Amino acid sequence: MRKNIVAGNWKMNTTLQEGIALATSVEKWVSEHPSKVKVIVAPPFTHLSDVGKVLHHVGLSSQNCSSEVSGAYTGEVSVSMLTSVNAAYAIIGHSERRSIYGETDAILAKKVKIALQAGLTPIFCCGEILKERESNIHFDVVRKQIEEALFILTPEEFSHIIIAYEPVWAIGTGVNATPAQAQEMHQYIRKLILSKFGASLADDLSILYGGSCKPSNAHELFANPDVDGGLIGGASLKAEDFIGIIQAF
């Protein structure tokens, strides 16, 4: 069944102590305000174990995972390491991983597959850069990202996927996609999934919007029929703002 989800991507922010304090505040609010919205936080790797211990109503996600299972990969973090600290989700294919660290569609396809095999739920990110939108090829760009990494999955595997549409020009810029732009792309993505995996999986898929989402614009973004929640960067670093976004449903 399609879920409403608000996930906080902390990126490379917070010390361990700050992260535990932030997670504790979010956990407290969520535990006192039961709702159908699934709340997730994605702290840095170093914080996962300790942050996980304060979370009981909030899901725990990594921001990345290795494309390899184990072995001589200095500096990498494997999916089994993540599940061993009780992470349930992994953000895969964030635009910062794609653009700064050169992660290709082929690498991301591998990451999605091994994350699923380990029992993690991938939060798979896609989205176009400004030039691509201005050239009117944004639908093609997003289609290719999804086809390359997700069309290799079996329907059963795909049923565990969450997609986050994050137009790169909206990430950290303060300029969010308009509700109409978000809805248009989310609807496009759902139709694409329908053509590959059928109506039931397309209907059950949660598609999150990411890119300068904040308490002041979350409501109008989430009000769209194909926008099932948000992947939140900057505004997830303050409990008050993050909670404001959760309340937008």
Contact positions with ligand PGA (CB under 6 A) in 160-189:
166, 171-172
Least Å distance, CB 34 to ligand PGA, is 26
- CA–CA distance, 119 with 152 (Å, rounded to integer): 17
Interaction mask 211-230, ligand PGA, x per CB under 6 A? xxx-----------------
Residue 223's CB is within 10 A of a number of other CB atoms, namely 12
Q: Is 122 in the site for ligand PGA (CB under 6 A)?
A: no
166 catalytic? Reply is yes
- Structure tokens belonging to residue 180: 């109409």
Least Å distance, CB 230 to ligand PGA, is 8
Pairing relationship of beta strands 5-9 and 121-126 according to DSSP bridges = unpaired
- Structure tokens belonging to residue 105: 């569609």
Nearer to ligand PGA, 185 or 202 (CB): 185
Task: Determine which one of 27, 103, 128, 166 is catalytic.
Answer: 166
Least Å distance, CB 197 to ligand PGA, is 25
94 catalytic? Reply is yes
Task: Give the position of tokens 């910062």.
Answer: 96
Alpha helices in the chain (DSSP H): 16-32, 48-54, 79-84, 95-100, 105-117, 130-134, 138-150, 155-158, 179-197, 199-204, 215-222, 239-246
- Among positions 55, 231, 243, 246, the unique one binding ligand PGA when judged by CB under 6 A: 231
Chain residue at closest Cβ approach to ligand PGA:
233
Q: Would you tell me which residues interact with ligand PGA (CB under 6 A)? A: 9, 166, 171-172, 210-213, 231-235
